[in-house]
Amino acid sequence: MTAMRATAPDLEHELAAIVGAGHVRVDAGARTVYGRDATPQYQGVPDAVVLPESAEQVAAVLRLAGERGVPVVPRGSGTNLSAATVPQAGGIVLALTRMDRLMELDRENLVAVCQPGVTTARLVAAAAEHNLLYPPDPGSRTTATIGGNVSTCAGGLRGLKYGVTRDYVLGAEVVLASGEIIRCGGRVMKDVAGYDLVRLLCGSEGTLGVITELTLRLVPAPEDAGTGLAYFDTLAAAGRAVSRVLAGGVLPATLEFLDRTTVRTVEDFAHVGLDTDAGAVLIFGQDGTPETVARDMERIAEACRAEGANDVTVASSHDEAEAILEARRAALPSLSRLAPMTILEDATVPRARLAEMVERIEAIAARHDLVIGTFGHAGDGNLHPTCVVDPGDGDAIERVHHAFAEIFEAALEMGGTITGEHGIGLAKLPFLEARLGAAQVALLRRIKAAFDPAGILNPGKLGS
């Protein structure tokens, strides 16, 4: 950036003229809170926090920022786990949470139209009232926003059967760094007019534009759903069961795993009745017509038994199903109780290599003398190795960094990736070239420069 940064009082005054004085925060409290997100160890300090209410206000803020060369970091609820909203270069944090109108649920076209600040859970609940489903289901759904979900291409518990956020984005209104407002895609199911900018925006982490409206695809809500749980002596056996389920022609709605460390920790914390002697737990689910659910749940249970599951339970009531799902939902909060700092990653491998990857992670944890519990989306090959550590122990933190570098290396060696759903942010930028290669990173930079020549949008992150 070539222009001089505005002084804070000038900037505050001009921003207030755009969004109203009550929606510009420069107090120390706001600058601290909006200087971080859900990623430990990263903290920036913005000059101002701005909460616009319309695309026109966003455009005016971006024009001003462009003139002054001030960085702008778009932000939803700040729940991302890759330091993607940390304003390490200062500037403006543009929080989209006031733009939370759910404008339309179009039952004929099966679409929803909303502003970016709507939470995932609110959209899911509104769709359910019309007997429709918005499938992406991140664990953070009660807090995270749709704008954040699209910008990180969030996944969740239904990824195996239903895909991830990008599979549900049909159109977007976007404010470019220049202040121009464009609309890409729309309510149509087919559209090949030009490059697919909607897809490009998915996972762009606030570096290409600010999303101010979204048109999202919905599907008819399934009539019925089933949930079950299987215990295995080893994660290798659970991994083989996953392959057997899929090879048998069943595509479960949910296929999640917990490793031994996570099972014990969850039971200590959440008391959901897990067998703490288990080497691994597989949580499975199916939805559809009652007949499909009954047939597939039995087939999944059979596949688990065939691979040596010691015990397989299929929930017979809503409460039992909720208790099983609670075991998965409690994984992260339970592990977090073991030490003051929790570092969660999301290396992803081809699903047939899941068990091998968990073994590699266990060996890496032992070599670095660290506690790492691993859980995740077995059906997607998406693992969340979670390391718990004392932030005051500099030596342990150093070992954590080495361990995660080795975990990413192992994932890449297996034909996997450094992040399946949490994104690059600041946290994984050092590993991006190993994943993409130099030529592709250079292409990303040229794409970024085409959208944002002055580099004001979320600088120092993807594409910088």
Residues 6+ apart with CB under 8 A from 353: 381, 414, 415, 416
Stretch binding ligand FAD (CB under 6 A), from 10-18, 101-109, 137-145, 183-191: 137-145
Q: Name the residue number minimizing CB distance to ligand FAD.
A: 148
Q: Are 155 and 420 in contact (CB under 8 A)?
A: yes
- Helix (H), strand (E) at residue 443: helix 438-451
Q: Is 75 in the site for ligand FAD (CB under 6 A)?
A: yes
Q: Which is nearer to ligand FAD, 243 or 336 (CB)?
A: 336
- Give the per-residue SS3 of 10-74: HHHHHHHHHHCHHHEECCHHHHHHCCCCCCCCCCCCCCEEECCCCHHHHHHHHHHHHHHCCCEEE
Angle value at C-alpha 67, between 74 and 209, nearest 5 degrees: 30
Q: Is 38 in the site for ligand FAD (CB under 6 A)?
A: yes
Residue 106 identity: D
Q: Exposed, middle or buried by CB within 10 Å (0-12, 13-18, 19+), for 217?
A: middle
Q: Which is nearer to ligand FAD, 41 or 313 (CB)?
A: 41
Stretch binding ligand FAD (CB under 6 A), from 148-156, 253-261, 302-310, 315-323: 148-156
Q: Is 115 in the site for ligand FAD (CB under 6 A)?
A: no
Q: Which is nearer to ligand FAD, 79 or 399 (CB)?
A: 79
Q: Is 71 in the site for ligand FAD (CB under 6 A)?
A: no
Q: Which is nearer to ligand FAD, 239 or 420 (CB)?
A: 420
Mode of pairing for the β-strands spanning 72-75 and 92-95: parallel
Give least dist CB 433 to ligand FAD, A.
Answer: 19
Q: Which is nearer to ligand FAD, 68 or 384 (CB)?
A: 384
Q: Which is nearer to ligand FAD, 207 or 312 (CB)?
A: 207
From residue 80 to residue 99, the character string flagging contacts with ligand FAD as x (rule: CB under 6 A) and all else as - is xx--xx----------x---
Stretch binding ligand FAD (CB under 6 A), from 15-23, 139-147, 216-224, 442-450: 139-147
From residue 156 to residue 195, the character string flagging contacts with ligand FAD as x (rule: CB under 6 A) and all else as - is x---------------------------------------
Which residues in 359-378 contact ligand FAD (CB under 6 A)?
none
Mapped onto helix, strand or coil, the DSSP state of residue 182 is strand
Count, residues near ligand FAD per rule CB under 6 A = 36
Which residues in 298-337 contact ligand FAD (CB under 6 A)?
332
From residue 202 to residue 221, the character string flagging contacts with ligand FAD as x (rule: CB under 6 A) and all else as - is ---xx---xx----------
Residues 6+ apart with CB under 8 A from 251: 160, 161
Q: Is 285 in the site for ligand FAD (CB under 6 A)?
A: no
Nearest to 430 by CA among 455, 457, 409, 410: 409
Q: Are 135 and 159 in contact (CB under 8 A)?
A: no
Q: Are 274 and 259 in contact (CB under 8 A)?
A: no
Strands (E), 267-363: 280-288, 311-314, 341-344
Give least dist CB 139 to ligand FAD, A.
Answer: 3
Q: Which is nearer to ligand FAD, 314 or 354 (CB)?
A: 354
What is the crossing angle of helices 354-367 and 394-413, to 10°?
Answer: 150
Residue 256 identity: E
φ and ψ of 182, to 5 deg: -120, 160
Q: Which is nearer to ligand FAD, 154 or 414 (CB)?
A: 154
- Which one of 57, 79, 262, 286 is in contact with ligand FAD (CB under 6 A)? 79
Query: How many helices (DSSP H) and strands (DSSP E) are in the chain?
Result: 16, 18
Binding site for ligand FAD (CB under 6 A): 37-38, 73-81, 84-85, 96, 116, 138-140, 144-145, 147-149, 151-152, 154-156, 205-206, 210-211, 332, 421-422, 458
